[in-house]
């Protein structure tokens, strides 16, 4: 099949991190692609009881149309899009190749290729491609433009500029008000020690109470963009301009993107340590309990431990834990001399290129 004839569908859901990876891979492939936005129903989890393709778990009216001609390649990520991808292949008579990013719930053999990272416990198999960090594809030009657009809003704010990228509830991680307050205190001290400013942005997953508790601790010069507030999200501009990063540790995508900027990176531990679930506040027990049961009782390939990626970043010197002891050394934070730092490291580019090469082999046999 000639490259110019290959059609690609990107199944996009509600999670920005998943969508970023799917689109990064599609763009790297260079075939062109069609975005298919999928809105899942609240009961979509039930569709996984039977490991088969179905649209029973999505709102077909609110989702993008799914109809022939069927694509040569389907890129997906996230549990909610799995039955949709499998349904597309069934409708295509087995023609559509399926590539899933992350860790699928359905049988590993049902995918032509799975692109995964260390927080998942997937085995070494011919149809599983292992990377060290989540995929993303931000060009220097794109980052530079975002930095130029944001820079006038930071006029007069002392440097170093410390970007604080906030995630939220995810799996066993619950972003409580107490954690928000602790993160606020640490970030405030980090900026005060360095003589700089905080540039914060949160996400749809950030609980309002956690963001409020964090903001209440800030006395240094800061700019906080709350999700849903007016104005463009400054996320990419912060990646371009920041001299250092603080990232909540549950977000693998934000960690990977911040890491690729090659600046000091601090990880805020979102876990509850060894605290038993029954000692957590009542409002925060369900998610950690359900996650711990799933991790203990489920098969190994269904487990997820983001600590594996966090520890790898710390062990190889790419990041440090945000602790009281580390904050005290922040006076040595460097300030970028250029207007914006837009270089994405070679390792990130190589992993994306290798992943795209593996996908091309599915649709362009040699």
CATH code for the domain in which residue 169 is found: 3.40.50.2000
Q: Say yes or no: 298 and 325 in one domain.
A: yes
Q: What is the pLDDT of residue 338?
A: 47
Q: Say yes or no: 216 and 83 in one domain.
A: no
Give the total number of structural domains in the chain. Answer: 2
Q: Say yes or no: 128 and 197 in one domain.
A: no
Q: Say yes or no: 53 and 183 in one domain.
A: no
Q: Say yes or no: 114 and 248 in one domain.
A: no
Q: What is the pLDDT of residue 340?
A: 43
pTM of the model: 0.74
CATH at 90: 3.40.50
Q: What is the pLDDT of residue 324?
A: 93
Q: Say yes or no: 76 and 203 in one domain.
A: no
Q: Say yes or no: 151 and 241 in one domain.
A: yes
Q: Say yes or no: 198 and 316 in one domain.
A: yes
**pLDDT tens digits in sequence order for the chain, 366 residues long:** 555 589 999 999 988 889 999 999 999 999 999 999 999 998 888 887 777 899 999 999 999 999 999 999 999 999 999 999 999 999 999 999 999 999 998 999 999 999 999 888 899 999 999 998 889 887 778 889 999 999 999 999 999 999 999 998 776 678 999 999 999 999 999 999 999 999 999 998 899 999 999 999 999 999 999 988 877 889 999 999 999 999 998 888 889 889 888 899 999 998 765 555 455 555 554 555 444 555 555 555 556 677 788 888 888 888 999 999 999 888 778 886 544 444 556 778 899 999 999 999 999 876
Q: Say yes or no: 132 and 176 in one domain.
A: no
Q: Say yes or no: 21 and 112 in one domain.
A: yes
Q: Say yes or no: 310 and 354 in one domain.
A: no
Structural domain harbouring 104 = 3-136+348-363
Q: Say yes or no: 48 and 62 in one domain.
A: yes
Structure tokens at 263: 């600046």
């Amino acid at each position: 099949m000639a490259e110019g004839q290959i059609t690609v569908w990107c199944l996009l859901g509600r999670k920005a991190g998943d969508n970023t990876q799917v689109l990064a891979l599609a763009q790297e492939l260079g075939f062109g692609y069609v975005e298919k936005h999928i809105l899942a129903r609240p009961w979509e989890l039930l569709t996984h009881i039977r490991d088969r393709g179905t649209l029973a778990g999505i709102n077909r009216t609110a989702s993008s149309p799914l109809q022939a001609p069927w694509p040569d390649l389907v890129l997906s990520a996230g549990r909610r899009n799995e039955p949709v991808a499998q349904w597309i292949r069934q409708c295509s008579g087995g023609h559509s190749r399926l590539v899933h990013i992350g860790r699928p719930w359905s049988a590993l053999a049902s995918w032509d290729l799975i692109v995964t990272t260390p927080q998942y416990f997937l085995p070494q198999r011919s149809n599983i491609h292992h990377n060290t960090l989540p995929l993303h594809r931000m060009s220097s030009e794109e980052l530079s433009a975002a930095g130029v657009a944001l820079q006038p809003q930071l006029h007069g704010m002392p440097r170093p500029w410390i970007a604080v990228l906030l995630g939220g509830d995810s799996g066993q991680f619950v972003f409580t008000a107490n954690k928000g307050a602790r993160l606020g205190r640490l970030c405030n001290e980090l900026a005060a020690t360095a003589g700089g400013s905080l540039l914060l942005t949160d996400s749809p997953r950030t609980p309002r109470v956690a963001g409020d508790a964090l903001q209440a601790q800030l006395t240094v010069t800061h700019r906080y963009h709350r999700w849903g507030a007016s104005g463009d999200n400054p996320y990419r501009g912060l990646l371009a301009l920041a001299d250092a990063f603080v990232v909540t540790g549950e977000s693998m995508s934000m960690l990977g993107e911040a890491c690729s900027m090659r600046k000091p990176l601090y990880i805020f531990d979102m876990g509850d340590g060894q605290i038993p679930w029954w000692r957590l506040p009542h409002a925060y027990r369900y998610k950690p309990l359900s996650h711990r049961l799933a991790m203990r009782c489920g098969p190994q390939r269904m487990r997820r431990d983001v600590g594996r990626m966090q520890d790898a970043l710390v062990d190889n010197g790419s990041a440090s834990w945000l602790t009281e002891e580390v904050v005290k050394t922040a006076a040595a934070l460097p300030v970028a001399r250029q207007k914006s730092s837009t270089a994405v490291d070679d390792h990130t580019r190589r992993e994306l290129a290798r992943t795209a090469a593996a996908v091309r082999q599915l649709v362009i046999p040699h």
